[in-house]
Amino acid sequence: MKTFDAIIIGTGQAGPPLASSLAKNGFKTAIIEKDDLGGTCVNTGCTPTKAYVAAARRAFVAKNSRDLGISIEGEVKVDLKKIRARKDDLISDSHAGLQKQFENEENIILIRGKAVFVDNNTIEVNGEKLTAEKIFINVGARPNVPKDFKDVNYLTNRSMLELEEVPAELVIVGGGYIGLEFSQMFSRFGSKVTILERGPRLMKKEDEDIAAVITEILETSGIKVLLNSDCIKATTEKRGIEVSYDCEEGAKKIQTNHLLLAVGRVPNTDGLGLEHTGVQMDKRGYIKVNDQLQTSVPHIWALGDCNGEGAFTHTAYNDFQIVNSQFFEERKRSLSDRFVCYAAFIDPPLARVGMNETQIKEKGIKAKVAEIPMKHVARAKEKGETLGKMKVFIDAESEKILGATFLGTGADEIIHTVIDQMYAGASYKVIRDAIHIHPTVSELIPTMLEDLRDL
């Protein structure tokens, strides 16, 4: 039995900084990883997909600049092998950085292998038992594969990134942000893309008007969007994969050689041996945590995607900040301090913080809204990128910002103007009365806040 002060399971975005902080504060720390260092973000999420998004953007600009007076003669070729190689180099750099961190940090031991709980205090890895006073679970999540697709040669966000040739046709099941990002990037690479979404709209967590504009953006990109597509199944045929579905127009079938499943994610908590502990999970397998990310066993914490409190790199890193503050900082952070924020990196991007119109109405909050279509924003017109709109929601009584949804050029950066004001607890009038630089998209936020209407 090897004894440590702390054991961390998983090297996703919360694990390495927590290991470093624990080690610097004198904790003998073991960090366990059964797969590639870095978790989803580094290997199959943010780093690789945004590298592909950047390449797809270059292809799009090369093919679509005539309206701005720029013509490119000849064929624009997409070299997916080179795009993949660049992606692999970026990932390799991250792996090397993490490896160096673990090797150089005193008090950190990296253990390669699968961790399984024996009891509340004991973990087995490679046949060896480890114990610690503090244990941190940071095992992330993986793509959900419904049973109707298990027998076909499907793709996930991981295997899509290993393709070396651009698919002639690509069918994507799922209209969330992962499916939409892949749909647009591969459409720009040259694939004929079809999205099948069971629900009545894409991005079901967004307001209907926002979802409608997102659909317009994708259809403008040449993507076929089929909503209300229920009973989706797939079988292997001689010609490839046959995808069948029911929609408003009746039963349909699509033939394709490439099928991407983007129907949500499931936590990597199965096979972890949690049944041998007192750690409680919900019916979906996410680990239940309190405001400080402690599980039902006080000396075990759950961070990152596996706790169901956020599915993003930035929320995982904030989980580290919350736990770290409880141990080593004067100011104690907690989960309830956090404003939900995220982006979908389609082009133009969607960015969101706090509540949207639907949630505000459901809660019965008296609120006001300011909004402006991107076609009225001078910088967007000058860039030739006028699809989208901006919406900001204000509490009518406190004058604080309840949330914002930005869809348009630069939205993923512009949203932080609002996020910072929300964390400051400031009145919306602070932004309204601020002077922003011209010509930018951000300068229209003060202008739109001068024209509030009741929600």
Give catalytic residues, as residue numbers.
438
Residue 405 has which token pair? 């949804």
- Whether the Cβ atoms of residue 300 and residue 280 lie closer than 8 Å to each other: no
State the DSSP string of 150-194: TTS--B-HHHHTT-SS--SEEEEE--SHHHHHHHHHHHHHT-EEE
- The residues with which 260 forms a beta bridge, in sequence order, are 155, 172
Q: Which of 353, 354, 386, 146 is nearest to 261 (CA)?
A: 146
- Ranges of H-type helices in 355-443: 357-363, 378-383, 411-424, 429-432
Task: Give me the helices (H) in 232-299, please.
Answer: none
- Alpha-carbon torsion angle 363, 364, 370, 374, nearest 10: 50
d(CA 8, CA 300): 10
Residue 439: is the preceding peptide bond cis (ω within 30°)?
yes
Element (H, E) at 95: helix 80-104
74-76-79 Cα angle (round to 5): 140
